[in-house]
Amino acid sequence: MSTRNAAAEKLLLQMVDDYTTREVAPLDMAIDHAQDFPEGYLQQLTQTGFLGLMLPQEFGGAGFGPEVTATVLNHLARGNASTAVTLEGHYKTLDQILKFGTPALQQQLLPSATQRIFAFSMTEASGGSNPMGISSTATREGDHWVINGDKIMITNGGLAQVYCVLVKTAPTELSVFVVDQDMPGFSFGKREDFIGLRGTPVGEIVMDHIIVDDDHLLGKVGDGGLIGDSAHDDARILMGAVLTGIMEHELKIATDYAKERKAGQTPLTELQVTHRKVADIAMRKETTKLLYERAAQLKAAGQPYSEEAAMAKAHGSRAAVAAGDDALQILAGYGYSREYPVEHLIRDARAMEIAEGTVEKMRSAIATAEFHK
Ligand SMILES: Cc1cc2nc3c(=O)[nH]c(=O)nc-3n(C[C@H](O)[C@H](O)[C@H](O)COP(=O)(O)OP(=O)(O)OC[C@H]3O[C@@H](n4cnc5c(N)ncnc54)[C@H](O)[C@@H]3O)c2cc1C
């Protein structure tokens, strides 16, 4: 359970809001168009302390709990969703090292996590929704492990320096190891040309005979499925927060525009068709916010949160796409233009119907949880 310091949290959120307004939001369109963060942008984010936000103080972090961490990403996503998703990929990975890493591994890696980005990689060409389909292996040789394989579509792939990797330790046995880009045999592959979240690099790593010791195993041999699910649960809370931020952005664009624009002599704000769309965007935003906050509260209280986290992302991702569609229609021709941000917010939100488990898989998980009640 996390202990909370209301004054510190208030100060942090004020700082994040100022930072988002000053340093993040003005670059939102440029990040999408360039398909990258500008030079020096991530260094500044790092220097400001964002990487260590949820890392316990014993490792040099700020030690904020799940609710505040999610809220920070929510606020950042109001300015730029890619920035928040790059941090989401980092935080969910740190969470798994904190939950499953040996004390030696934690001491070795986590102090550097305030300066280095971490990533979690499960997906391969042969296995996305079906982790058992992966081909990467870790083979025991003497007193160490030898890792071979090719991981694709990793959030922060190519940017991150440390990777948790899901591999097979036997034909039907999954395990997770931690590898570092400095290890012999490690190399980067291609970066995906994805349609949304275009600032966040999503890319490939190749592992060719990487040798690691037992300390680089997370949990026990065979815990891969459990750790992968845990990473998804943690990521889904944060994605619910990011999606809420996207909807807040969509709502602001739609309401600002409706206040200025007239249909003939009638302001858009007086048309019932506008009311319907704005109300729907606001309700979608608020329901997603409640869902991610609830999941974060359960996590902070040490209670199960898997189903609520899946709901936050499954509901929030479709809601943010639909909300973007309504916002686009209010702006009409301008909404359809790449000179306005609405279209890229739809593309950004759409990624989260796929990343961290598809909505189809999440619905199955939610239904299964309900059947077991
Ligand atoms: C922006 C982005 C970031 C990503 N970041 C990461 C990352 O950091 N780490 C990582 O490991 N991966 C990452 N991924 C990959 C992502 O996790 C996979 O794309 C996802 O798990 C789906 O796998 P797939 O693309 O192979 O699709 P498939 O598994 O081939 O699915 C194809 C279709 O079949 C459906 N389907 C498959 N199995 C089932 C089932 N059992 N029940 C119902 N429907 C099913 C799917 O829902 C989908 O519609 C990222 C993807 C994106 C888009």
- pLDDT of 338 reads 96
Matching residue, tokens 């950004």: 348
Nearest CA to 167 out of 103, 202, 98, 120 is that of 120
How remote is the CA of residue 63 from the centroid of ligand 1, in Å? 31
Q: Is the CB of 120 under 6 A from ligand 1?
A: yes
- CA dist 357 and 294 (Å) reads 20
Which token pair is 93? 């990975």
Ordered DSSP codes for 234-272: HHHHHHHHHHHHHHHHHHHHHHHHHHH-EETTEEGGG-H
Hey, what domains does the chain have and what are their CATH numbers? 6-114 (1.10.540.10), 118-223 (2.40.110.10), 226-371 (1.20.140.10)
- CA dist 174 and 220 (Å) reads 10
- pLDDT of 2 reads 52
357 CA closest ligand 1 atom index: 21
The question of whether 356 is a catalytic residue gets the answer: yes
How remote is the CA of residue 232 from the centroid of ligand 1, in Å? 12
How remote is the CA of residue 354 from the centroid of ligand 1, in Å? 5
Q: Is the CB of 131 under 6 A from ligand 1?
A: no
- CA dist 297 and 96 (Å) reads 18
Which token pair is 18? 């100022």
How remote is the CA of residue 152 from the centroid of ligand 1, in Å? 11
Cα separation values, 226 from 192, 222, 299, Å: 27, 9, 16
Q: Is the CB of 197 under 6 A from ligand 1?
A: yes
- pLDDT of 3 reads 66
> Atom 44 (ligand 1): residue with closest C-alpha?
360
Q: Is the CB of 191 under 6 A from ligand 1?
A: no
Letter string b/e over residues 87-104, b meaning 16 or more CB atoms within 10 A of that residue's CB:
bbbbbbbbbbbeebbeee
How remote is the CA of residue 307 from the centroid of ligand 1, in Å? 18
Instruction: Say what the pTM is.
Output: 0.98
Q: Is the CB of 64 under 6 A from ligand 1?
A: no
Cα separation values, 315 from 80, 304, 357, 364, Å: 20, 19, 13, 13
How remote is the CA of residue 49 from the centroid of ligand 1, in Å? 31
129 CA closest ligand 1 atom index: 29
- CA dist 125 and 120 (Å) reads 16
> Atom 25 (ligand 1): residue with closest C-alpha?
128
- CA dist 335 and 342 (Å) reads 6
Mutate to test the pocket of ligand 1, among 176, 233, 354, 363 (most ligand atoms within 8 A of CB): 354
Q: Is the CB of 129 under 6 A from ligand 1?
A: yes
Contact status, residue 84 vs residue 76, Cβ threshold 8 Å: yes
The whole-angstrom distance between residue 313's C-alpha and the CA centroid of its chain comes to 10
Residue ranges for the chain with pLDDT beneath 70:
1-3
Q: Is the CB of 122 under 6 A from ligand 1?
A: yes
Q: Is the CB of 89 under 6 A from ligand 1?
A: yes
- pLDDT of 122 reads 98
Q: How many CA atoms lie within 13 A of 143 on its CB side?
A: 1
Q: Which helix (H) or strand (E) covers residue 180, if one does?
A: strand 173-180
Which token pair is 33? 């168009």
Contact status, residue 100 vs residue 221, Cβ threshold 8 Å: no
How remote is the CA of residue 129 from the centroid of ligand 1, in Å? 5
> Atom 35 (ligand 1): residue with closest C-alpha?
360
- pLDDT of 256 reads 98
Write down how long the chain is.
373
Residue 158: which region, alpha, beta or left (left: phi > 0; alpha: psi -120 to 50)?
left
> Atom 18 (ligand 1): residue with closest C-alpha?
128
> Atom 51 (ligand 1): residue with closest C-alpha?
355
